[in-house]
Amino acid sequence: METGVQKVVLLAGGVGGARMAEGLMRALPEGALTVVVNVGDDDTFYGLLVCPDIDTILYTLSDRIDRGQGWGVANDTVNGLNVLRDLGAPVWMKLGDADFGLHIWRNWRMSQGASLSEVTEECATRFGIKARILPATDDPVRTRLMTEKGLLDFQNWFVGERCQPAVREISYAGAEEAAASPQALAAIREADLIVFAPSNPLLSLEPLLSAKALREAVAASHAPRIGVSPLIGGKAVKGPLDKLLADLGQPGGAAGVAARYKGLIDGFLVDSDDVNDIAAIEADGISVHATDILMRDPAGAERLARELIGFAPTLGARA
């Protein structure tokens, strides 16, 4: 590309991460994008490992996604889930029939000895995706929330309880023992640009960065590192971020999010409705670009990705 950006790593989770991945994949040459994905949302249902963030990115980049809800497979049915309900199983986690197919295949391949990284890359290839998708780690890291109702796994709080119980503390179980994916580390070392998706920092990017070697690799990179705010007008585009920050007594707004990445990013994209946060972000030595960050459709995601890529050369090189 004219910018010289040939290898981009996107750190991502959630719907915002999937949409940013789609925009970058459309804007970049084929094979230039590697998406390193959060596994803190992963859980086991009916004996099957389910990886919601990985799956949402797989479905989005293969154009299988249900764009109305932002997750799951378009036009999926729930016959399997209905049978489970009739048999008395808890069915609060909506898993469609096509979705079950992926989960069954993943667990079958892993039972044959394949790692989560190997299975994810194989799936991306078979789905015809022109980007590399990697879990942050092959080891289990699980986001857990201490709430007013006690300790809850992420999916129990997010889906089962609809994010309602107030959160007192967040932890990432298994993070201290987790080894960062060697493939993800190599991609970060070789990257010309590292992007922090407009994902929830507490629920998507900080569990990803909890793998110590991965965080260290991002911190040591000489490539431009750019974050994208997940907030517009101080409110989450999707999900419970502003509520979580308030529950935990953490600084809110775009400035509060950017501060969480201090030392890891050089630039930050904020929405034009959040220009009042720019001075506080720049005071931390982070350059800011204000624009319309809402990705309404794939074309809008590509437009934002091209703006981000164009912003990267203005950041200069670090020693």
The CATH number linked to 23 is 3.40.50.10680
CA distances from 8 to 66, 249, 287, 293, 308 (A): 26, 34, 19, 19, 11
pLDDT for the residue numbered 238: 82
Go through 279-302 and write b for each residue having 16 or more CB atoms within 10 A of its CB, e for each that does not: ebbeeeebbbbbeebebeebeebb
pLDDT for the residue numbered 269: 98
Whether 169 maps to a domain, the answer reads no
Whether 278 maps to a domain, the answer reads yes
Whether 32 maps to a domain, the answer reads yes
pLDDT for the residue numbered 156: 94
**Residues in the chain with pLDDT values less than 70:** 1-4, 317-319
Whether 42 maps to a domain, the answer reads yes
20/237 Cα distance (integer angstroms): 13
User: Do residues 95 and 81 lie in contact, with contact meaning Cβ atoms separated by under 8 Å?
Assistant: yes
Paired with 154 in beta bridges are: none
pLDDT for the residue numbered 111: 97
Whether 215 maps to a domain, the answer reads yes
What's the whole-model pTM score?
0.96
Instruction: Quote the domain boundaries for residue 308.
Output: 8-141+174-314
57/71 Cα distance (integer angstroms): 9
Whether 41 maps to a domain, the answer reads yes
Give 226's contacts (C-beta < 8 A, 6+ positions apart): 193, 194, 195, 196, 265, 266, 267, 268, 269, 308, 311, 312, 315
Whether 163 maps to a domain, the answer reads no
132/94 Cα distance (integer angstroms): 27
Whether 159 maps to a domain, the answer reads no
Structural domains of the chain, count:
1
**Backbone dihedral region for residue 302 (phi beyond 0: left; psi -120 to 50: alpha; all else: beta):** alpha
